[in-house]
Structures are given as structure tokens and as C-alpha cells.
Amino acid sequence: MNDRQGRSVPAVHGRRTIEPDAPFERGLSEHLRSRYDARGIAELYGRFVQGEGDFDALMRRAALRALSRTFGDDVMVGRGLVFRHPETFEIGNGVFLGEQSMIQGRADGTCRIGDHVWIGPQAYFDARDLIIEDSVGWGPGAKVLGSTHSGVPREVPIMQTDLEIRPVRIGAGADIGVNAIILPGVTIGCGAIVGAGAVVIEDVQPFSIVAGVPARFIRER
């Protein structure tokens, strides 16, 4: 028997039924929002950010819901998740936010994550103008950049030049491979696959597969 032969098993996250959160959870978030300012809620979140128990997970979820613009049911907030400007976050139902991930929002920005999205550990989002549609899989360590410095004029240090913010859009059902990088202004079409470690510098058509550095078209699905 070939011990290197793989096997097929049913998907878990993509098929799971979304369970409505208990009313007391939403009540807890409303209580936090009414009693504390954003800084206070963020400090409370920090007390539970590394906890492994169910209560820690509940408190992470309650705090992030209190801070977010909108926040769906049955969201899983992994240990070590950090963020900035959560007031711009719109998080859908059944979202999984992996451990040690970073969501870098912007005060005047957009960060929208659709239903049934799975985000692997140690992902990074420069979420200044970011929309991730429903049922997207985001591999561990994958990153999206939403801005870059103009570099003009060249006599000025690049970090001092204007920041150019460009929208990034990830279509429904797309899959982003482990350690892939999506650069500013890129749209990934619905149902597309981005290979592991790819650096995507231009739009990817729906239901196509790209891979490499820079990412190039491989074939249609």
C-alpha cells in the first residue's frame, strides 16, 4: 500500500451551521458599549486576548462586538488577535478569525468581512479599504496590503511621502493560499484560487488559478 496516498474528508468550517448567539452575549456587548469608551473596552479585551478557555473566547467576542460597526453571530475570535480602528469593522456571521492575526484598520476606512469567512493564524490585513465577500478561505500567514507611499518627490524619505490607499476586493468563494500576498488595488474574482506564497500584483479573474512571484495565470478551475 502506498503510504503517501492522500484521503478526502468532509469540510468543516465551510459547511457548519451558524448558531445564533445567546441574547445575553449581545446584551453584554451593549452593556460594555454603554459603560466604557473604546479605550476601556480595548483594555478589557486585552485581559482575555491570550486565554484558552470558553469564557476568555466569549469575552473576546463580546468586546470586539462592542467595538465593531457590525458583528454577526457565531464568530470565533482566536487567541492573540490584535486590531486597530475596529469601529470600521463589519464582520459577518460564522467568521473564524485565526490566532495571532492582525487587522490594521483606518479611522476613515472600510473593513468588511462576509459570512462564513475562514482566516488562518498569523494573517495580516492592511484593511484601509478592504472587502472580503462570503465563504472566502484565507490561508495562515497570508497578507493583504491596501496602501503604499508614493515615493515622490524622491529627495524626501519614502516614509514621509503621501500614502496612496487603493481598494482590495476578494470575491465570494475565493481561496487565498498560505503566505500569499495581495498588493494594493487588486481584485480577486469569485471562486479564484491564489497559490501558496504567491505575490499578486494584478487582478485575478473569477474561477482562475494563479501562482508564483509575481503571480501568473495557471489554468481555469
In what helix (H) or strand (E) does residue 83 lie, and over which residues does it extend?
strand 82-84
> Angle CA(166)–CA(169)–CA(173) in degrees, nearest 5?
165
Question: pTM score, two decimals?
Answer: 0.92
Environment class of 113 (CB within 10 Å of its CB; exposed 0-12, middle 13-18, buried 19+): buried
Over the stretch 95-114, which tens digit does the pLDDT of each residue have? Answer: 999 999 999 999 999 999 99
pLDDT confidence bin for 8, thresholds 50/70/90: confident
Evaluate whether 117 touches 135 at the Cβ level (below 8 Å): yes
Nearest by Cα to 221 from 184, 185, 195? 195
Mean pLDDT of the 120-144 span? 97
pLDDT at 2: 60
| pLDDT of res. 7 | 86
pLDDT of residue 11: 83
Reply yes or no on whether the pLDDT at 14 is more than 90: no
The answer on pLDDT for 209 being more than 60 is yes
pLDDT band at 16 (very low <50, low <70, confident <90, very high): confident
Secondary structure of residue 14 in the 3-state scheme: helix
Q: Which residue type, as a one-letter code, is found at position 83?
A: F
Q: Which of the 8 DSSP states describes residue 174?
A: -
What mean pLDDT comes out for the span 122-141?
A: 97
- What is the C-alpha to C-alpha distance for residues 89 and 180, in angstroms, rounded to an integer? 23
Write the class of the CATH domain 69-220.
mainly beta
pLDDT in tens, 29-87: 999 999 999 999 999 999 999 999 999 999 999 999 999 999 999 999 999 999 999 99
- Is the pLDDT score of 177 beyond 60? yes
Across the chain, mean pLDDT equals 95
Asked whether 124 and 105 are in contact (CB, 8 A), the reply is no
pLDDT at residue number 87: 96
Residue 171, pLDDT above cutoff 80? yes
